[in-house]
């Protein structure tokens, strides 16, 4: 996996471009937001997350889809249960993942953040393969965007408290932070 800074796209991952993105107002990338998603909720490997982020979700396929099919959302990356990484939006662009949000007294986190969605739910453990991919991807993004320090890696619930709960209590923050710290110490 390697990031091309000029295009903002990673080599070595799947590309599934989403129309739900636009230009960053200042070009700044200084925050990483971790999310979780599964479609239908609690079901994995359906391909529906990819369809959702590309505005191709068929509302008639599942009752839950009727309420979300018209939404226009995206994330920069999606990590499936088997560790496969898909990129939807260039890191140079603003993905629509955070919604109404606030970090360190600053509103509109989409303007200055990258979003990574993990295939999962708030209360089911994430897989070892997902942590391996997340740690590698996060290290890559931190190298490309040094403003993303450990203190500037957070959950959706941290920037939209009361509105969002992901990545949820099943997410192992200590595992992620320890691996990133160890990686940093080796440099």
- Pairing relation of β-strands 14-15 and 106-107? unpaired
pLDDT, tens digit (0-9, with 9 covering 90-100), for 143-178: 999 999 999 999 999 999 999 999 999 999 999 999
Partnered with residue 35 across adjacent β-strands are 117
Active site residue 117: yes
Catalytic residue, from 117, 119, 136, 185: name it: 117
Q: Where do the structural domains in the chain lie, given as residue ranges?
A: 2-186
Of 8, 10, 4, 79, nearest in space to 49 by CA: 79
- Rounded CA separation 76/80 (Å): 14
The percentage of residues in the chain with a pLDDT greater than 90, rounded to a whole number, is: 95
Q: Please give the CATH number for the structural domain made up of 2-186.
A: 3.40.80.10
Determine contact, residues 76/88, Cβ cutoff 8 Å: yes
DSSP state for residue 15 in the 8-state scheme: E
pTM of the model as a whole: 0.96
Query: Model confidence over 31-75: pLDDT tens digits?
Result: 999 999 999 999 999 999 999 999 999 999 999 999 999 999 999
The whole-angstrom separation of Cα 5 and Cα 52 is 27
């Amino acid at each position: 996996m390697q990031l091309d800074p000029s295009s903002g796209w990673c080599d070595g991952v799947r590309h599934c471009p989403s129309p739900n993105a636009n230009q960053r107002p200042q070009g700044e990338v200084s925050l990483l937001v971790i999310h979780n998603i599964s479609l239908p909720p609690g079901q994995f490997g359906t391909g529906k997350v990819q369809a959702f982020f590309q505005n191709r979700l068929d509302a008639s396929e599942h009752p839950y889809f009727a309420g979300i099919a018209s939404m226009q959302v995206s994330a920069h990356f999606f990590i499936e249960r088997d560790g496969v990484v898909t990129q939807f939006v260039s890191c140079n662009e603003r993905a629509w993942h955070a919604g109404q949000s606030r970090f360190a007294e600053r509103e509109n986190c989409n303007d200055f953040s990258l979003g990574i969605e993990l295939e999962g739910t708030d209360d089911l453990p994430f897989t070892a393969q997902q942590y391996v991919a997340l740690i590698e991807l996060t290290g890559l993004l931190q190298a490309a965007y040094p403003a993303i320090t450990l203190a500037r890696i957070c959950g959706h619930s941290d920037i939209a408290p009361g509105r969002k709960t992901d990545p949820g209590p099943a997410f192992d923050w200590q595992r992620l932070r320890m691996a990133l710290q160890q990686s940093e110490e080796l440099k």
